[in-house]
Homo-oligomer: A and B are copies of this chain.
């Protein structure tokens, strides 16, 4: 069995409330995370909610990194979905955990696109 993608789901609690409400900071954070894991950003969309909270997605050549923040709960839901052997999603996860100063977090990793083809471990999307 081979997987087309690795999908890390981060539950980040007890984060810095200030940065969770700072769209520019979070955009920079996701871009830095993409670079650190070896990914290439091909598009993005960030949105600040009233009165607080940010949703952001970095569309990367290797899939996507998303963040949704609830500053009122010091919580952020982050997804790092990558494919290809040249990308290290755990590096992106590490950067985001550090930048958000998450004092309490969990990470679950799923394998997406399980296919019976030995070539797909090299597939990049």
Q: Fill in one digit per residue for A37-65: 1 if any B CB lies within 8 Å of its CB, else 0.
A: 00000111111010001011101110110
Taking the complex as formed, is A94 at the interface, i.e. its CB lies under 8 A from any CB of chain B? no
Chain A, interface residues (CB within 8 Å), range: 35 or more
Q: Which A positions have Cβ atoms within 8 angstroms of B? A: 4-5, 7, 9, 11, 42-47, 49, 53, 55-57, 59-61, 63-64, 66, 68-70, 73, 75, 77, 79, 81, 83, 110, 112-115, 117, 120, 123, 125
Chain A interface main SS type = strand
Q: Taking the full assembly, how many copies of this chain does it contain?
A: 2
Contact A110 B55 (CB under 8 A): no
Contact A64 B59 (CB under 8 A): no
